[in-house]
Structure 1
Amino acid sequence: MPKSRPFRVAVEGATCDGRTLERQHIVQMAQRFNPTVYGARVNLEHLRGYSPNSDFRAYGDVISVKAEEITEEPLKGKMGLYVQVDATDDLVAMKKNRQKIYHSIEVHPSFADTGEAYLMGLACTDSPASLGTEMMQFCANNPVNPLSSRKHDPACFFTASVESTMEFEDEQPPQDEGKNFFARIKSLLGGTQQQFSQQNGENREAIEAIAESQGKLLDSTTQLSTAVKAKADATELQSLRNDFKALEEKLKGQDAEQYNQRPPATGGDGQSTQHLADC
């Protein structure tokens, strides 16, 4: 699926729940986020549908999070949270149509009793920050939080939505087959690197050497196959050219005056001379 470039989804300050997104919350979310521990999915309006065909299905996953201090006005000096998203095709199409251009995050201030904040989800919405502020005031004065049904946990809160431009990375051209083969082998080895003891280091190096040589062999085979096919096509084309040239020369050497009129047809009507077949 297409991956986005990092974009800002939250800024320290007020939230939609009458609470405050602290600078330390943003820093902790960036430091602690790990999709293998708990994945933050992309949804609409913080609503999670039960059906995969619903408009409120998941539209992708957050794959990386970072915290950076904003250097441009009017938010200069505030801490911002930036994410990268692995998007579905539906999310790409929605963004191209300029729909749901604002973003809000769901924050757990003490995830898994760690005492540190964690990013629970990312929502796409059409509600700008001004409406988020109104929602914050409404929630603060209401004994029953109207957003509670949308949360993973009652302790979670939603940030005010900010406008973001979600741009997608250009797709990388396919690599050579041999390089892909070598990369796959290294990936498999790297994924279990901790399982290799020091005494197996030589085995690892040998396997990587074999993988690299196999990759080069695959590349050479591919190049050779391409060259052989190109040569065969060129040989066939030259043969056709030679045959055409020979036919052309043959036709040029024939004298049209040597041809006689076609003999009359056999048969008769009882008045003209009959030409009988020689049987």
Structure 2
Amino acid sequence: MSQLKTDWLRIATEGQTYRNVPMERQWLVDIAETYDPKNYGARIWPDHRRWYGAWGDVLEVKTEEQDGKLRLFAKLKPNTQLVSANEQDQKVYTSIELDPNFAQSGKAYLTGLGVTDEPASLGTDRLKFSTKERFDTHQYGAPEQLVIGYPDVEHAESDEQPKQEKQLFSILKNFFKSNSPDLAPEPSEEEPMNKEQFEALMGQFTAFGTRLDGLESKAKAFGKKPEGDKGGDDTGKPEGDKGGDDKGKPEGGAITAEQFGTLNESLTGLVAKFESMETKFNALSQEAGNQEPDPAGKGESFTVV
């Protein structure tokens, strides 16, 4: 915030104005007599407009007679916005705002002060703020040289780290270690099958398959009649007499239908058991979802307490 205060500046002159509105002498007399910023302070407004915000304050006023006319003078306290505009040669003249009957007192009062490039009053002083005075009211730190250094590549092969760097890594290591949950290894419900167990199981299946092939071959052999028994001694006999007393007995070592059916049922049950064992074996040979180790060294899920 600017702490700049001006000396006495002429802000109005009695008589005709640029807009042909007369400035009454008594108004200036009343303003010099009644103005008190503690009672009602007049603020400085750019072009008399309020939406820009105020640009300073009127501290005190007085009147003087110059060249046969009464002049109104004021001391101002501009803020940085007014100073910045003035440095750009903008808003360099003043134009007073007054109430001829302030607070029903019957006297004029200075209610505001406009800064403009087109003043209505004649004989006003041009505003010119001193940059030197503005800078004298500020305090600045002494400039420091900024040095950016790069590591020496030729001497960067040393294995020894600075002590502070080691301490930093130690602190970070302890911090992350203290915040990491202790993950105990998950107990395995089933032990995986080793190579010896797998080979033994496969040997049993191989032996079982060999025996099954033998049974199947025997079943096919039992289902055939020997060719040497076709015709036999029954040639020329009536069909009803063929076989004689041997009816219902196996001819030439062939099995009966009843025996074949019994054997077929046994074989069917054996095949069903084999298929069931094969299904179980296929299921055992596949890894379950929780048997495969996590590459990150963790289980499928964990909870940090």
TM score, norm. by length of structure 2: 0.40
- More RCO (CA 8 Å, sep 6+): 1
Which has the higher Rg, Structure 1 or Structure 2?
Answer: 2
Give the TM-score of the pair, scaled to structure 1. 0.43
